Structure 1
Amino acid sequence: MSPFMSGMLSMLHAALSPFLASTLTLVCFVSPCAALDLNWKEIFPIRKHDFGIVAVAAKTEFSFPIENTSDRPIHIRTVRASCGCTTPTVDSNTIAPGQTSYLHARFNTDTFKGKRGANLTVVIDRPIYTEVRLRVDGFIRSDLVFHPGAVEFKRTSSGSPVTQTVKVFYAGRKNWHINKIESPQSWLVADIKELSRRRGRINYEVTVTIDNAAPTGFFQDELVLFTDDSGMPRVPLRVTGEITAPLTISPGIISLGTVRAGTPTSKKIVVLGQRPFVIESLTAEGWKVDVSLSSEAKKTHILRPSFDIAGTSKGAFKSTLIITTAGENSSRATALVTADVASD
């Protein structure tokens, strides 16, 4: 290379070096550096689910949690399914830091049969672009039908046993049997009985009862039917519902702020019941509580109790407020009372 050309190249390199350096630094911050604190294994803690062997028309769904453990909102642009046997839906496309959304994968057992599976590709465009692949698999039996496809209790009052039934229709071997049914919860009682058997068409009835010991809140479980099929003995039956408390207090935490002995503090609380009720008592350990109670039975009671510290406690103080209803079917509800007791 001639001395002239070498000199020109040196001058060009010197002129472009700052630009090239800044360009490389910019790429680092936009692409790899922006993703350093996004742990996709934590954000998508579950990547695969096997439905196992399910019946035709059985309501079969799994919810993949999406937990935003970062300090930036995550936005899901879309979710693609590789097979029509699975339909994906998302609770919320935008997930704030510290929040959790769910991707629900519904197995379409009413229109597909046999071994099926699908890749669910979650396309994320903020805070950075990425794609996360989830997977579901299962086998849909063509000889077994649940009607309805699941046991759905919806809203059920705590302490009030309730029962639902599901029919099981089988077409195949004449000597086919369901040997037993198992429940994952002691308070979810399941039983099964044979209804009819004729020319390879066999019908059973499943009875499911929520007993008095059921905890409050949402639940989603699976009963398991054990058949005498050598290759596919286990068949799940989905059970969902919500068990509600007969009595609730709002707010659940009653914050009184800074209080002084001899100076009562009032707060508004709302007591809700599933049926009309009368409040018999309202107490809170460590407090003198003055409240006007109505003798009228109604579903909603709005109260303004006043609280005066009863003991010698100082500083942060917590206790439990208890409301008890009157009558033969008396029930209780609790709330937390907090305060900062000032020194005189």
Structure 2
Amino acid sequence: MLNRIGVALLPFVVCALTFVVNPIVASGQNWYDAAFPTQHHDFGTVAVGAKTEFMFPVTNTLSSTMHFQSIRASCGCTTPTILNDYLEPGQTGFIKAKFNTDTFRGKKGATLTLVMDQPFYSEIRLKVDGYIRSDMVFHPGSIDFGQVSQGDVATKSSKVLYAGRSDWQIVDIRSNRPWLMPTLKETVRRGGTVNYEITVDVREDAPTGPFQDELVVVTNDRNMPEVPLRVTGNVESALTISPVALALGSLKPGEQVSARFVLIGKTAFEIDSITAEGWDVDFDPSTEPKKMHVIEPRLTYTGNQGGPQKASLVIKTTGEQSVTAKGLITADIRGN
């Protein structure tokens, strides 16, 4: 009797097990390696008060929507945040890990457990670690330029406060960007107290767009000589073009086509020139300075290459404070 019942129930048991396991099997046993290309981050040596964050990228490599239910940290030294709860197939989001340098000291590490409940249940573990040195403080903990107009020089600073050895010093400060220029000045040296001021300039040739970088402060410490200082901001162009890309479609060599775009400046301006390599650009010049111009140039392809073509459209304004905006031309050039 019992055997008959067991045999009768067996198909239901198999079906239940198949329902739970199939999504993982279909995705491959190591689906999370593709979805989470970075699973560990070392902050290195950081100063007290430093703004220290890392974004773990996550890409939905599955065929169904991902939903992240919650995240927790094994140590209060790190605060994790889910920046994108839902990810559609192919979409990328981020998990932010903030190292709490204000309240913790010494060597610290945490395991971040991310709970996913769609399209199946899984717990993903990410790890962070680092060393928060107690003798060195950045004030403020990072340098944030906010919005910077391209062509202008912007300056910000942060103080370095040190308490320890009387012979301690900063011997160098390095930048990864040629347009991000740091300078260093010692302001206090009294016994074991040493203070510096770090001044950073964003030069006028900085490219447009947001930036997130680190300066490397190099000290004469033997064990922990390098300490990062976070620098962020967004460089805005003084002249914007909309749309940025002009798709001209299929053309024959020598065929003229019209396009239309809008130029917007922070101040009133006139247009000096519009050029594009491989193209003849004819336009009606402006008659007075305005903050917004609607331009309808006539473009003729003058190159000798067929097939898909791409070129930068360069617009320059008049005057001593001339600024430049860049767009993009795309076209498919047919044979004669």
User: What is the TM-score with the length of structure 2 in the denominator?
Assistant: 0.85
List per-residue Cα deviations over 1:205-251 (Å, max 9, x = no partner): 11222234433332222222222333333222111222333333222
Pair 1:144 & 2:139 matched: no
Alpha-carbon distance in structure 1 between the residues aligned to 2:180 and 2:301: 44
Aligned to 1:294: 286
Aligned to 1:120: 112
Equivalent AA in structure 1 for residue 125 of structure 2 = R
Alpha-carbon distance in structure 2 between the residues aligned to 1:263 and 1:180: 58
List per-residue Cα deviations over 1:124-154 (Å, max 9, x = no partner): 1112211111111122222222111111122
Aligned residues: 336
List per-residue Cα deviations over 1:142-186 (Å, max 9, x = no partner): 222211111112222334332222111122233322222222333
Aligned to 2:329: 337
Alpha-carbon distance in structure 2 between the residues aligned to 1:338 and 1:172: 61
- Please state whether the residue corresponding to 1:193 is helix, strand or coil: strand
- Please state whether the residue corresponding to 2:173 is helix, strand or coil: strand
Alpha-carbon distance in structure 2 between the residues aligned to 1:140 and 1:111: 10
Pair 1:102 & 2:115 matched: no
- Please state whether the residue corresponding to 1:124 is helix, strand or coil: strand
- Please state whether the residue corresponding to 1:72 is helix, strand or coil: coil
Pair 1:171 & 2:163 matched: yes
Pair 1:193 & 2:182 matched: no
Residues 38, 70 of structure 1: 8 Å contact kept: no
Alpha-carbon distance in structure 2 between the residues aligned to 1:316 and 1:225: 47
Pair 1:239 & 2:193 matched: no
Aligned to 1:251: 243
> Aligned in 2, Cα 1:140/1:318: closer, same or farther, shift over 3 Å?
closer
| Residue correspondence of structure 1 range 13-32 to structure 2 within 5 A | 22-23=15-16, 25-29=18-22, 31-32=23-24
> Aligned in 2, Cα 1:27/1:88: closer, same or farther, shift over 3 Å?
closer
Q: Unaligned stretches of 5+ in structure 2?
A: none
- Please state whether the residue corresponding to 2:249 is helix, strand or coil: strand
Aligned to 2:39: 47
Equivalent AA in structure 1 for residue 329 of structure 2 = V
Residues 214, 230 of structure 2: 8 Å contact kept: yes
Equivalent AA in structure 1 for residue 36 of structure 2 = F
Single out whichever of 210-219 and 20-29 deviates more from structure 2: 20-29
> Aligned in 2, Cα 1:122/1:274: closer, same or farther, shift over 3 Å?
farther
List per-residue Cα deviations over 1:274-304 (Å, max 9, x = no partner): 4432211224455554544433334432223
Pair 1:271 & 2:263 matched: yes
Quote how far apart the aligned CAs of 1:13 are: 7.1
Single out whichever of 294-303 and 20-29 deviates more from structure 2: 20-29
- Please state whether the residue corresponding to 2:319 is helix, strand or coil: coil
Aligned to 1:76: 68
Residues 51, 138 of structure 1: 8 Å contact kept: yes
Alpha-carbon distance in structure 2 between the residues aligned to 1:120 and 1:111: 19
Quote how far apart the aligned CAs of 1:21 are: 5.6
Quote how far apart the aligned CAs of 1:257 are: 2.9
Aligned to 2:28: 36
Alpha-carbon distance in structure 2 between the residues aligned to 1:200 and 1:292: 69
Single out whichever of 320-329 and 293-302 deviates more from structure 2: 293-302
> Aligned in 2, Cα 1:122/1:227: closer, same or farther, shift over 3 Å?
same
Single out whichever of 173-182 and 102-111 deviates more from structure 2: 173-182
Equivalent AA in structure 2 for residue 147 of structure 1 = H
Rg larger in structure:
1
Aligned to 1:326: 318
The partner residue of 2:146 within 127, 140, 154 is 154
Quote how far apart the aligned CAs of 1:111 are: 2.0
How much identity, in percent, do the aligned residues show? Answer: 48
Pairwise CA RMSD:
3.1
- Please state whether the residue corresponding to 1:330 is helix, strand or coil: coil
